[in-house]
Amino acid sequence: MKITQLTSGVVLTAALVAIGASVAGAQETLRSLAEERGRYIGAILNSQWFGGGLPGQYEQIHKSEFNVVVAENEMKFDATEPSQNNFNFNNGDKMVNYAKQNGMRARGHALAWHSQVPGWVNNIRGKDQLLAVLKNHIEKTVGHFKGKIDEWDVVNEAVNDDANHGWRSFGSVWFQNIGAEFLDSAFVWAHKADPDAELCYNDYAIEQGIGPGSKAGFVLDQVKRWVANGIPITCVGSQTHVEDVTTAKEFIGAPDSLRHFAKELAKLGIKLNITELDVGFKSGINVSKEDLARQGQVYRQFMDVFLEEPNMGVYLIWGVSDKWSWL
Ligand code: XIL
């Protein structure tokens, strides 16, 4: 285990505790442990990395500890199609080259999302017009990375937060102009552009369980419908952002809820991935040893679910270090 090589600026403590690794095998890394089990463990490449703004050991640690990668922001709609039909894949290419050179699985994030959409999209009105924009974006983007991106978040965060069991009806240029049809279409277009890529629906609060009015319950119903209708979905991503582990009571039991959800998806032949795991603290608080222990415990519980459920493939944390976390 490479604990001794970590500097104070780069803290993998929680993830290390999570996997329950001992200091025994000198060559053991998170990556080697995952590979022995046929699993993928990963972290974003931070936006600073794309600009060359991270210290040297960041990349070294990223390469040795992880075998799956995703870009924090660089493959989102506003980054890849900043003006209509003018695509910029420079950063995406940088990521897939890095993945290839280092033998990593690559995730693409994200094709149809209400957020980080460039201004020009919001100025387009009309169902057919918006459908054409989304189709073109998906065909060009997935087509460009065909064979290089193993798995796409085709649709991200399309469900409401208001416990009303429904699609996000406010603040989504896609839903407001097209309706729910945009989701089905997005999967079909992505599959056509790269038939070998795995295709996910990705969302947050999934780990809160499939109880009445829950997001996970609604997603499960939709996945059943998609599977029954032959929509080419292969995976669901649970973002799993636990923003404040010291007060977030709702997260007690979350790993068990996620396990239950994984089992439900398994019945449908669908994978579950943990795509953006964070276990954070409210900013500005003094973090105690007990807080860190609880943080490690939560990473560990999600890791147990990940290793024990056969239809889980990816355990991805949203940042190598708390130092550069969006939270
Ligand atoms: C976040 C990035 O980490 C930030 O840098 C950016 O400012 C906003 O987006 N759900 C997602 C991710 O699917 O794309 C988000 O990433 C975090 C929440």
pLDDT tens per residue, range 97-133: 999 999 999 999 999 999 999 999 999 999 999 999 9
Q: For residue 162, is pLDDT > 60?
A: yes
Q: For residue 23, is pLDDT > 70?
A: no
Residues with CB under 6 A from ligand 1: 47, 72-73, 156, 239, 276, 326
Q: What is the mean pLDDT of residues 60-88?
A: 98
The count of other CB atoms within 10 Å of the CB of residue 159 is 22
Q: Distance, CA 254 to ligand 1 centroid (Å)? A: 21
**What is the number of the ligand 1 atom nearest to the C-alpha of 153?**
13
Residue 252 is predicted with a pLDDT of 66
Residue 209 is predicted with a pLDDT of 92
Q: What is the mean pLDDT of residues 145-156?
A: 98
**What is the number of the ligand 1 atom nearest to the C-alpha of 113?**
13
Q: Distance, CA 43 to ligand 1 centroid (Å)? A: 13
Q: For residue 19, is pLDDT > 60?
A: no
Residue 280 is predicted with a pLDDT of 87
Residue 9 is predicted with a pLDDT of 34
What sign results for the dihedral spanned by CA atoms 220, 226, 230, 233? negative
Q: What is the mean pLDDT of residues 228-243?
A: 96
Residue 244 is predicted with a pLDDT of 83
Q: For residue 18, is pLDDT > 90?
A: no
Residue 322 is predicted with a pLDDT of 81
Residue 8 is predicted with a pLDDT of 34
Helix (H) or strand (E) holding 251: none
* Entry field: residues in the chain: 327
- Identify whether the C-beta of residue 199 lies closer than 8 Å to the C-beta of residue 232: yes
Percent of the chain with pLDDT over 70: 90
Percent of the chain with pLDDT over 90: 76
C-alpha radius of gyration, the chain, whole number: 19
pLDDT, averaged across the chain: 90
With cut-offs at 50, 70 and 90, classify the pLDDT of residue 243: confident
CA 132, CA 111: separation in Å to the nearest integer?
A: 14
**Please, which residues have CB within 8 angstroms of residue 164's CB and are 6 or more apart in sequence?**
213
Residue 22 is predicted with a pLDDT of 45
Q: What is the pLDDT of residues 32-70, one digit of tens each?
A: 999 999 999 999 999 999 999 888 899 999 999 999 999
Q: For residue 327, is pLDDT > 50?
A: yes
Residue 247 is predicted with a pLDDT of 63
Name the residue with the closest Cα to ligand 1, atom 15.
72
With cut-offs at 50, 70 and 90, classify the pLDDT of residue 140: very high
Q: Count the helices and strands in the chain (H runs, E runs).
A: 13, 9
**What is the number of the ligand 1 atom nearest to the C-alpha of 318?**
3
Residue 285 is predicted with a pLDDT of 85
Q: CA 180, 181, 187, 193: dihedral to nearest 10 degrees?
A: -140
Residue with tokens 């890849």: 80
Q: Distance, CA 280 to ligand 1 centroid (Å)? A: 15
Q: What is the pLDDT of residues 246-299, one digit of tens each?
A: 765 555 688 999 999 999 999 999 999 999 999 988 888 888 998 889 889 999
Q: Distance, CA 27 to ligand 1 centroid (Å)? A: 33
CA 44, CA 55: separation in Å to the nearest integer?
A: 16
Catalogue the active-site residues: 157, 276
Q: For residue 16, is pLDDT > 80?
A: no
Going by the DSSP 8-state scheme, the letter that residue 38 receives in this structure is T
